[in-house]
A and B are shown apart, each in its own frame.
Chain A
Amino acid sequence: MFSQLIADVVTLWGKYGKIYLNGIKNTLILAITATAIGCLIGFICGILQTIPVSKTDNIFKRLFLGLVRVIIRVYVEVFRGTPMILQAVFIYYGVPYFFGHVFKSIWAVSLIVVSINTGAYMAESVRGGILSIDPGQTEGAKAIGMNHFQTMLYVILPQALRNIMPQIGNNYIINVKDTSVMFIIGFSDFFSIHKMVSGAIYKYFPSALIEMIGYLTLTLVASFLLRWVEKKLAGSDSYELAAGDQLVMAAGTYNSPAKGSPFDEQSKEFGKELYKGVDEGKEDGANE
């Protein structure tokens, strides 16, 4: 029984491996590109929505930003509120009525639909991510003369990105799976290969097994990479203590004071006259 299953899987893979792999390739390309474009849309929407407006701004700016907010709201509600499979049909078969034969390419339509969907979800995540950053960060940036764009680019977004990272990962994983609905307009993703192959030779279960393993591999690798990126973004929890005026010694890597570490010895050597305070977490012995 079990050996039969293995034999079937092996035969199937031997015969159609290339086709499965091609499906994986299409799924991957679509999911990655659409997630990237979706994030870009999300960031633009999120930033536009959080531009501060005050009563003293001129009427044109206030009207413009008000309009932008309404448009983004409508966009988010429409695309979050309807099935992606329907959106695909809607655009693929609908747009030619208005623009002639613009959307002949299945790839283009798939990419647009998945990107716009991701964008709708990301817009909210980015907005939330920006709002979650302490307003003191913005004030600090403004106080040294940064404008809104600089404040966003150098101070707020790098911090917001860390909070948003899990959502980006979620969206990517959802996209890996949900691009399968694009079969409706004839996109040949990984899942559509299953329908094609099993329909041809009636090996439903072995093929489904290949699909399961394939999808899991794609998503697990993504989860793993994501954790890694998140860790990178969090920054290291130690820092190099720089030498004072002269190069006293090559500084090694010392843990942060909060961890209670060899740090104390170092501050004794060249921090003493500069530094009179007390670090939290320092051992008592250091505070004579």
Chain B
Amino acid sequence: MSEHILEVRHLSKFFGKNEVLKDIDFNVSQGDVTSIIGASGSGKSTLLRCINLLETPSSGEILFHGKDVTGGGISQSAYRAKVGMVFQSFNLFNNMSVLDNCIIGQQRVLKIPKEEAKETALYFLGKVGMTPYINALPRQISGGQKQRVAIARALSMKPEILLFDEPTSALDPEMVGEVLAVMKTLAEEGMTMLVVTHEMGFARDVSSHVVYMADGVIAEEGDPKEIMVDPKNPRTREFLSRFL
């Protein structure tokens, strides 16, 4: 049962009368790289936001190591610190340097001493190739660089699972590669990742599992090779054909 890091059970979400997620069920195990694909408005972002409790699910359960996190049994802060999130729009703290962006959470949420937090931050900034820019403010670096810092910020919290919501959609085409390269490295190193993406190449080649969402339900899921090459569901086929 608790071989899964994360279990989503009968999750549904209403915005007013609009049911955006309908009875979603799926699991994430250690080391899984799951790509969530689907048309705009199908509920992919809402699903991720429910998972890290930025949205409150209307019903259903989200189990983290077997414990439900929606009921308030576990502290929201502690849970969020273990579930990293990388946003489409980066959301770096504009009032802090690149380095401080990666230190503040460790220092204030995890209560790690500043020096140690700095070392960790420098390690992960190095990993995403941002060491030369640690003193820059977010507005002084490019989009691709911002997203790499955002990834380093999330990694600095040493999360057990990392959520990405279309991390490359706001980037100019020439910067997409640098971010995908970082994500690929993480995947190869065994980081557990849940990635909402329109990058079909990434879904096919890097992820270990693909989930196709349509109108708030999981229409099809499974091995990327099978789903992306020979989808069973006609809707999946139609969706994928648009990317050819």
Q: Contact residues of A with B, CB < 8 Å?
A: 54, 56, 134, 136-137, 139-147, 150, 154-155, 158-159, 235, 237-245, 256-258, 266-267, 270-271, 274-280
Contacts and interface: CB of A to CB of B under 8 A. Distances in A.
B91 interface: yes
A65 B222 CA distance: 47
Interface of B: 52, 54, 56, 76-81, 84-85, 87, 89-95, 97, 104-105, 108-110, 126, 129-137, 139-142, 144-145, 150, 153-154, 157, 172, 174-175, 177-178, 181
Contacts of A238: 140
A139 B178 contact: no
B93 A155 contact: yes
Contacts of B110: 145
Most buried by B among A137, A242, A258: A242
Contacts of A243: 132
A241 B145 contact: no
A240 B177 CA distance: 26
A276 B148 CA distance: 12
A41 B139 CA distance: 32
Contacts of A258: 140
A271 B109 contact: no
B140 A257 contact: yes
A194 to B, nearest CB: 44
A242 B150 CA distance: 19
A271 B84 contact: no
6 contacts: A137-B94, A140-B87, A142-B80, A144-B154, A145-B80, A280-B142
A155 B109 contact: no
Most buried by B among A56, A271, A275: A275
B131 A245 contact: yes
Contacts of A142: 54, 80
A235 B109 contact: no
A146 B95 contact: no
Nearest to A281: B142
Nearest to B102: A144
A141 B137 CA distance: 17
Given A137-B94, A277-B178, A146 B54 contact: no
A136 B140 contact: no
Contact of A241 (B84, B93, B133, B177): B133
Given A144-B154, A257-B141, 14 more contacts: A56-B56, A139-B91, A140-B87, A140-B91, A140-B92, A144-B153, A155-B95, A235-B137, A239-B133, A240-B135, A242-B131, A256-B140, A257-B142, A278-B142
Contact of A145 (B78, B175, B178): B78
Contacts of B105: 144-146
Contacts of B150: 140
Contact of A256 (B52, B77, B95, B136): B136
Contact of A144 (B94, B109, B129, B132): B109
